[in-house]
Structure 1
Amino acid sequence: MAQKYNIYINQKALIITSIKPDDSLDYQMLDVQSFEFEKFYKSLSKNPQSVFYLLTEHPKAVFKEVKSSLRIIEAAGGLVESNEGKYLFIKRNGRWDLPKGKLEEDESKRDAAVREVEEECGIVVKKLGKKLIKTYHVYEIKGKPVLKVSHWYTMLTKSNQKLIPQLEEGITEVKWIAKKDWNLVRANTYPSILDVLDIV
């Protein structure tokens, strides 16, 4: 299977892959030989394009190089399924999202994922399942780009628990949503969340 790494910067995407993009897509091709992430990042605000491709025979190596140039922040979260087959979503800062948060010192990714889901939604997770995917998102801290690596896990719990949004984290709503109604979420969420939903 061909390797592909999607790095999201706000609503823009940098895709590092060995697969030539479909020509029906609207994208800009970048030269992998001269690519420097910091220069690319600084030029983004002046570029109206939203999808950028770095085509290479060695996506993993190129991705590692990009990663090594940035400060990494590790986070973990969950796609929580209820005993009725619905999934748990939160509304944070006006958009649908999945519960997740940063790892605490010496905390494992799996423990952090469960803790964050429980804190942000006010529930108790009954079972932690398999790892689904890792997503990558760049944002700024003190004017410097950092890379947030989020580790996503499947989880199971009962749906008869009272849902309590963690207001101090900007969460205004917690809701069980059936898979057939995910279009509601897809219309108002983040690109990295779509990556999680697309593999389920």
Structure 2
Amino acid sequence: MHKVFVNDKPIVLTTKVEKEKGFKNFPLKTVNLKKIIRELNSTSLKEVRLIHKNEEKLLKKFLKKLPNVIAGGGKAYNDKGEILFIFRNNKWDLPKGKTEKKEAIEETAIREVEEETGVNGLEIVKPLETTYHIFKRNGRNKIKITYWFEMKTNYNGKLEPQENEGITKVAWLDKEQVEKALENSYANIKSLI
């Protein structure tokens, strides 16, 4: 099972057909994705489930339905165990961004965290789960596939938000501050924390 978010509402990719209650089932093969996205954005529908009989092919078939944007990002920790967050579009988020040219996804993740926050000396500890969300650019829906990595750094210099990317604040947040920030964050970020 995979979840692809449209804002904070999931499109669940699954092999199981369940009785509809607060969600709707659709066959993945014939689904009108544009219509579903519109419905999720404009109604009280909580989620949509797209059904396909083959678990292995579910995600692959879904990703062919819209253009893909590949991104890398980081859940970076400092020596105090605090997590690095950015504030953009009035929400707390983790730093991430699109890959460039033939860059490895790990290089993308480190570069984007550095560019968006001013933090350097980052080292990847391990890969985290990959997240998927649908966004609209120039009137077209696209799927952002973000490969996340847990990172560590002993950087304790100045934090510098990348303002030309709409980032207004960068902060190291402790456990309590993270919980508060997650009240005003995205569903896929909550799943990473």
Stretch of structure 1 that moved more, 99-108 or 10-19: 10-19
| Superposition TM-score, scaled by structure 2 size | 0.89
Query: Hey, what does 1:30 align to over in structure 2?
Result: 25
Structure 1 residues 115, 35: closer, same or farther in 2, change over 3 A? same
Amino acid at match of 1:86: E
Q: Does 1:102 align with 2:101?
A: no
Alignment match, 1:10? 7
Q: Which of residues 82, 92, 97 in structure 1 aligns to 2:88? A: 92
Q: Which residue of 2 aligns with 1:176?
A: 172
SS of 2:158's equivalent?
A: coil
Shift of 1:15: 1.0
Structure 1's unaligned 5+ residue stretches are none
Instruction: Quote the offset at 1:182 in angstroms.
Output: 2.1
Query: Aligned match of 1:81 in 70, 77, 81?
Result: 77
Secondary structure, in 3 states, of the residue corresponding to 2:102?
coil
Report percent identity of matched pairs: 31
Unaligned runs of 5+ in 2: none
SS of 1:173 mapped into structure 2? strand
Post-superposition Cα deviations, 1:86-121, rounded to whole Å, max 9, x if no partner, equal 110011111100000110111110001000000111
**Residues 1-150 of structure 1 aligned to structure 2 (within 5 Å):** 4-18=1-15, 27-32=22-27, 34-150=30-146
- With the length of structure 1 as denominator, give the TM-score of the two structures: 0.86
Alpha-carbon contact 1:27-1:53 (below 8 Å) kept: no
Structure 2: which amino acid aligns with 1:8? Answer: F
Partner amino acid, structure 1, of 2:10: A
Distance 1:9 1:43 in 2: 10
Higher mean displacement: 27-36 or 69-78: 27-36
The count of corresponding residues between Structure 1 and Structure 2 is 192
Compared CA separation, residues 31 and 93, structure 1 to 2 (3 A)? closer
**What CA deviation, in whole Å up to 9, does each residue of 1:8-44 have, x standing for no partner?**
11232111134677x9x96313132643423423444
Separation in structure 2 between the aligned mates of residue 144 and residue 60 of structure 1, nearest angstrom:
27
Q: In 2 relative to 1, CA 29–172 (structure 1 residues): closer, same or farther, beyond 3 Å?
A: same
Cα distance in 2 between the residues matched to 1:26 and 1:187: 25
Q: Flag as ranges the 4+ runs of structure 1 deviating above 4 A.
A: 18-21
In structure 2, relative to structure 1, the CA distance for the partners of 1:26 and 1:129 (3 Å cut) is: farther
